[in-house]
């Protein structure tokens, strides 16, 4: 999976230059972080893909929903790669996606190797293709004469529901493809470790590593912890990852210095807002927005959010398309009125008290009253992570100000996730350093230097409206496929991963483990020892989850060194 550290927007060259000069400390995402040493530094990561060779990455998209489109748009718009296949169980979505990105609207119909109902179909196809290549029946060379049928793919974007990630990644791992998976990597600690073990095991069996990245994404799909994961994982694992990257990882992505690991993790949280005790009395027994007597004045009216604010003004993309996937086609072929009728039909869908819970869990119910739903994920949570002094000998250090700690002194980070807020899905933070402070939000960075008393305001270039997640979708596509192309051009995988993505798989897993550690600490009211938790929950699980599956699989994997 690939995970770009530029996940919340593009960093301008001017800002990069300025931040290289700022003496500061470590950071947090929502509240504060402090340290008495360290110097914060932005790492130079490539941001454009060279087009000097013909090794354009061939890409498979698994999941033709909004996230599949979110990555496919910049891939196509920026020429980052060639989308050659899609896996999607819904025929309508699959055809719409293929016509837009693969085979075109009218030129021809899809070829068998371009569309699959699910990832298992692709794995079967790809396994057979490789066997035929190994037997000499077909060629795997990049040749336009075979219409790409036997060329396979280089990279996969996994854009399915969170709870499906584990099955997809483990099915793809033996194929040795470069993988970019939507975050979170998995919804349980067990599955996270299982993925980590499966991928690293296959690397060993194949004799090579692959580029691996983790990308991003409280509505109906993430309202229940038993069907998805804790909100700290589904909505804020990026933030925890940024904290650990800044406070654990060496400041230079090429540095082999061991990470400065945390000492303790603690957390607290609650479900405050969206529960029945908060439901307005005037709403009465209404459980759906469309039948509610206060719908017109309720700030959480589904009709207002999806129809009035979006579809009525011509927006058929996010978030309307999440509710009605075929809304764009209806709008174009049947008109605005038909699209509005269909949206209202979906929003009117509801369940009764007699509806089995298993049926309720299967649907998103976007028109359901937010106060009278089955939501149980937290809307307010605080996580505290601490580090102790952990100096390493560094005779080559030139920074006399840092002393013998060499940037590995005691520090603390406080993260606060809360909803609702004035700024939806935006971050604010403050960094308390030994020589200055940095405060930031989604548009502005302020740097205050203690020595001079001066405060400098920096406003990075804003991403365009078409760049999703504040430019993060484009950034992820650029960085991940840049790493893939570098490997295709002969670059060492580990170097490409570090240079383009600035992290490795263990770092991605570490941030997920930190979230699960915080959840355990919250539920059991603990101050959790990080080292003990890692040894027991990670190292203790490694090697025992799965056994080797026999010589047939080994032979199948060995086909792949010249795929």
Q: Transcribe 424-491 into DSSP letters.
A: TT---EEEE-SSEEEEE-SS-EEEEETTT--EEEE-PPPPPTTSTGGGHHHHHHHHHHHHHHHHHTT-
Of 330 and 22, more confident: 330
| Strand partners of residue 436 | 449
Return the structure tokens found at 516: 């699960």
Q: Categorize the per-residue pLDDT at 400 as very low, low, confident or very high, splitting at 50, 70 and 90.
A: low
Of 46 and 351, more confident: 351
Q: What angle do CA 29, 517, 36 make, to 5 degrees?
A: 45
Q: What is the CA radius of gyration of the chain?
A: 25
Return the structure tokens found at 103: 């085979």
Beta carbons of 64 and 96 less than 8 angstroms apart: yes
Q: Tell me which residue of 174, 189, 178 sits closest to 212, measured CA to CA.
A: 178
CB atoms within 10 A of CB 248: 19
Give the pLDDT confidence score for residue 535 in this predicted structure. 94
Q: Categorize the per-residue pLDDT at 540 as very low, low, confident or very high, splitting at 50, 70 and 90.
A: confident
In this structure, are strands 32-35 and 411-418 parallel, antiparallel, or unpaired? antiparallel
Q: Categorize the per-residue pLDDT at 398 as very low, low, confident or very high, splitting at 50, 70 and 90.
A: low
pLDDT at 519 over 80: yes
Cα separation, 173 vs 364, in Å, equals 31
pLDDT digits (tens, 9 = 90+) for 25-68: 333 333 445 544 443 334 444 545 554 446 899 999 999 988 89
Give the pLDDT confidence score for residue 11 in this predicted structure. 34
Cα separation, 46 vs 48, in Å, equals 6
Of 419 and 342, more confident: 342
Cα separation, 418 vs 270, in Å, equals 10
Give the pLDDT confidence score for residue 554 in this predicted structure. 36
Give the pLDDT confidence score for residue 386 in this predicted structure. 98
Q: What is the pTM of this model?
A: 0.77
| Alpha carbon separation from 169 to 45, 173, 465, 553 (Å, rounded) | 26, 6, 31, 16
Share of the chain residues as helix, strand and coil, in percent rounded to the nearest 5? 40, 15, 45
pLDDT at 547 over 50: no
CB atoms within 10 A of CB 172: 24
Q: Among 141-155, 265-279, 367-381, 479-493, where is mean pLDDT lowest?
A: 141-155
pLDDT digits (tens, 9 = 90+) for 85-137: 999 999 988 999 999 999 987 767 888 889 999 999 999 999 999 998 888 88
Across the range 366-395, mean pLDDT stands at 88
Q: What is the mean pLDDT of the chain?
A: 81
Q: Categorize the per-residue pLDDT at 534 as very low, low, confident or very high, splitting at 50, 70 and 90.
A: very high
pLDDT at 217 over 50: no
């Amino acid at each position: 999976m690939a995970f770009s550290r530029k996940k919340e927007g593009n960093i301008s060259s001017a800002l990069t230059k300025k931040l290289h000069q700022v003496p500061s400390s470590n950071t947090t995402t929502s509240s504060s972080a402090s340290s008495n040493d360290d110097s914060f530094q932005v790492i130079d990561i490539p941001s454009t893909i060279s087009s000097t060779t013909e090794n354009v990455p061939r890409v498979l998209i698994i999941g033709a929903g909004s996230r599949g489109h979110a990555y496919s748009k910049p891939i196509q718009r920026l020429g980052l790669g060639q989308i050659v296949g899609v896996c999607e169980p819904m025929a309508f979505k699959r055809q719409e996606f293929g016509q837009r990105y693969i085979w075109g609207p009218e030129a021809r119909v899809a070829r068998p190797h371009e569309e699959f109902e699910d990832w298992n179909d692709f794995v079967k196809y790809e396994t057979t293709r490789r066997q035929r290549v190994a037997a000499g029946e077909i060629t795997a060379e990049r040749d336009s004469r075979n219409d790409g049928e036997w060329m396979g793919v280089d990279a996969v974007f996994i854009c399915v529901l969170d709870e499906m990630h584990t099955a997809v990644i483990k099915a793809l791992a033996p194929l040795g493809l470069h993988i970019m998976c939507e975050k979170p990597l998995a919804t349980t600690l067990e599955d996270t470790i299982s993925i980590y073990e499966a991928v690293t095991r296959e690397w060993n069996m194949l004799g090579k590593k692959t580029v691996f990245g983790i990308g991003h994404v409280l509505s109906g799909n993430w309202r229940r912890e038993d069907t998805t994961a804790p909100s700290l994982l589904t909505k804020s694992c990026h933030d925890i990852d940024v904290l650990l990257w800044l406070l654990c990882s060496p400041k230079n992505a090429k540095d082999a210095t061991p990470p400065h690991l945390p000492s303790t993790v603690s957390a607290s949280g609650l479900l405050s807002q969206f529960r029945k005790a908060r439901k307005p009395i005037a709403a009465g027994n209404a459980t759906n927005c469309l039948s509610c007597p206060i719908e017109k004045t309720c700030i959480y009216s589904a009709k207002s959010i999806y129809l009035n604010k979006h579809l009525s003004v011509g927006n058929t993309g996010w978030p309307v398309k999440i509710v009605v996937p075929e809304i764009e086609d209806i709008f174009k072929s049947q008109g605005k009125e038909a699209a509005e009728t269909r949206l209202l039909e979906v929003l009117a869908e509801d369940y009764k008290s007699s509806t089995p819970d298993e049926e309720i869990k299967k649907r998103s119910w976007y028109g359901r009253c937010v106060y009278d739903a089955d939501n149980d994920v937290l809307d307010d949570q605080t996580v505290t992570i601490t580090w102790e002094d952990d100096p390493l000998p560094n005779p080559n250090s030139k920074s006399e100000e840092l002393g013998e700690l060499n940037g590995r002194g005691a520090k603390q980070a406080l993260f606060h996730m809360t909803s609702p807020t004035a700024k939806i899905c935006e971050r604010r933070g403050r960094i308390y350093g030994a020589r200055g402070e940095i405060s930031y939000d989604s548009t502005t960075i302020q740097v205050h230097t203690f020595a001079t008393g001066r405060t400098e305001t920096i406003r990075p270039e804003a991403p365009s409206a078409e760049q999703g997640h504040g430019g993060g979708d484009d950034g992820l596509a650029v960085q991940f496929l840049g790493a893939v192309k570098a490997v295709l051009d002969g670059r060492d995988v580990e170097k490409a991963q570090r240079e383009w993505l600035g992290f490795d798989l263990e770092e991605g897993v570490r941030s997920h483990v930190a979230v699960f550690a915080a959840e355990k600490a919250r539920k059991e009211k603990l101050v959790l020892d990080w080292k003990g938790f890692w040894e027991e929950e990670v190292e203790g699980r490694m090697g025992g989850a799965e056994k080797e599956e026999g010589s047939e699989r080994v032979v199948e994997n060995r086909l792949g060194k010249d795929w």
